[in-house]
Amino acid sequence: MKNRIIYREGFKIFTLTKEYLEILKTNKLNVQEHGQNRLIIKQSEHGITKDKIAPKAIEIINKLNSAGFRAYIVGGAVRDLILNKIPKDFDIVTDATPEQIVRVVSNSRIIGRRFKIVHAVRGKDIYEITTFRSSPGTNSRNNDTVTKNSTGILVRDNNYCRSMSKDVSRRDFTINALYLDVSCMKIYDFYGGVYDIINKNVEIIGDPKIRYEEDPVRMIRAVRFAAKLNFKIEANTKKHINSMGKNLCYVSPDRMYEEIVKLLLLGAGLDTYKLLDKFNLLPYIFGNEYFDIMNSPREKIFIQRGLLESDKRTREGKPNSPYFLYSILLFPVFKAKLFELYTKNTNKVHNLYNIDYSELVLFKEISQQILASIALVNVPQAIVMRIVNSWINYVQVICLKDEEKLHEMILKNTFRATFDLINIRSSIDPYLVKIVSFLSPYYKKAQELQQSKIKDRDFSKSNKAHFKKEKKLRKKLKKEHRKALKF
């Protein structure tokens, strides 16, 4: 009997036969016994069709193949295809070195020093291409070594090799240690990853203590996959997260910024935040002082409501930007510090209604101080500016003293985000409910205005395309006309 595809309630579901489940189970037992065991899963057994793979990824792989290199789809894309989900991105791995990749793949460049990878730009998508790597302590083909600092963190990790079975031991979790050969559609599974996907299990490869020491980001990645896929974290993988969270302070603040955006902005922000909290990782991400403010029962409700709204936006396919996420997460800190410093500087009672417009410069300074002092996370300057502006807009709108200024604000592009922030905040500040209902008609107007702007833009775009087509046609006619005149 074969594994087969069935349709239930309009969905395509791949069902595995009892016999095949037994094969996967036996393979997992072999992995547990021997550390690694290669299982090749044929297309008839996994059911993934080639049309589910981004044509641009296939084109890049074909380019590498024709230049004599091996190349595969690797990691999350294979995992998501098995789960019948649309992959977020298609990562590629090859035995070509980064320098060889950029020679073969057009529009590509080398990124990073600690971990060199290649980015190939195709339209608005970026394809990440990595080179097979081997473990610390093993010989590399390019005489580069894996370097660790005194805390055990990998500070240089570019020892390339030609072997898939070596590369796989460097991957983070069994569910991500899968390679898909698009030419024959076979999947290579070395650590029982497919078995773990079916059993909804996030399991680290190797000794968790060493793997978290090498790269503490793996702890927050475990949490991210568990929340995003609704999987559980395997006992041994979980055990060290509680005790090793403090290692997150060794991660570079730039990388931490990117990881937080990935953690909280991709549609499962609320579940991820709750799980990070459960593992006590949030104080290591935001620092103890800020986390204490964020974690008060009231502020917790506000942050969770903000994340819920942000997840909704992502699910609805609406733009969701890091600046809005951060302006929600750190708003409780902004408010607390604002009152503290405002009172100290002005000797006035700390109530937002008392705030004077002339003190906007002070707000700006306070906001910038707050953002600069989250030492673990390096928020880029362009994002800092937008966060600061969103907080200042918030204060300006809720003060509502200067009506002329309020009307000016309402006409601004940023008004919708300001309204969203006030609306979310009204879940814990009852006095804002009145302001929300006062502003609601203006918000609706601003939304309509935005819609018409999008339509205008689309119209001018389609007009441009139309003119381009016409120009091409005219050129062609002219050419034909000239040709006809010659004879």
Binding site for Mg ion (CB under 5 A): 76, 89, 91
Nearest distance in Å: CB 176, Mg ion: 8
Contact between 176 and ligand ATP by CB under 6 A: the answer reads: yes
Contact between 229 and ligand ATP by CB under 6 A: the answer reads: no
240 binds, among ligand ATP, Mg ion, none (CB under 5 to 8 A by kind): none
What 3 state SS string does the chain have? CCCEEEEECCEEEEECCHHHHHHHHHHHHHHHHHCCCCEEECHHHHCCCHHHCCHHHHHHHHHHHHCCCCEEEECHHHHHHHCCCCCCCCEEEECCCHHHHHHHCCCEEEECCCCCEEEEEECCEEEEEEECECCCCCCCCCCCCEEECCCCCEEEECCECCCHHHHHHHCCEHHHCEEEECCCCEEEECCCHHHHHHCCEECECCCHHHHHHHCCHHHHHHHHHHHHHCCEECHHHHHHHHHHHHHHHHCCHHHHHHHHHHHHHCCCHHHHHHHHHHCCCHHHHHCHHHHHHHCCHHHHHHHHHHHHHHHHHHHCCCCCCHHHHHHHHCHHHHHHHHHHHHHHHHCCCCCHHHCCHHHHHHHHHHHHHHHHCCCCCCCCHHHHHHHHHHHHHHHHHHHCCCHHHHHHHHHCCCHHHHHHHHHHHCCCCCHHHHHHHHHHHHHHHHHHHHHHHHHHHHHHHHHHHHHHHHHHHHHHHHHHHHHHHHC
Contact between 196 and ligand ATP by CB under 6 A: the answer reads: no
387 binds, among ligand ATP, Mg ion, none (CB under 5 to 8 A by kind): none
Contact between 215 and ligand ATP by CB under 6 A: the answer reads: yes
Comparison of 89 and 144: residue with beta carbon closer to ligand ATP: 89
From 2, 12, 52, 88, residue interacting with ligand ATP (rule: CB under 6 A): 88
Residues in contact with ligand ATP, counted by CB under 6 A, come to a total of 11
309 binds, among Mg ion, ligand ATP, none (CB under 5 to 8 A by kind): none
Nearest distance in Å: CB 43, Mg ion: 22
Comparison of 26 and 163: residue with beta carbon closer to ligand ATP: 163
From 61, 69, 91, 389, residue interacting with ligand ATP (rule: CB under 6 A): 91
Nearest distance in Å: CB 139, ligand ATP: 20
215 binds, among Mg ion, ligand ATP, none (CB under 5 to 8 A by kind): ligand ATP
From 57, 217, 282, 285, residue interacting with ligand ATP (rule: CB under 6 A): 217
Comparison of 50 and 88: residue with beta carbon closer to ligand ATP: 88
Comparison of 161 and 446: residue with beta carbon closer to ligand ATP: 161
Contact between 283 and ligand ATP by CB under 6 A: the answer reads: no
Site residues, ligand ATP (CB under 6 A): 75-76, 88-89, 91, 171-172, 176, 215, 217-218
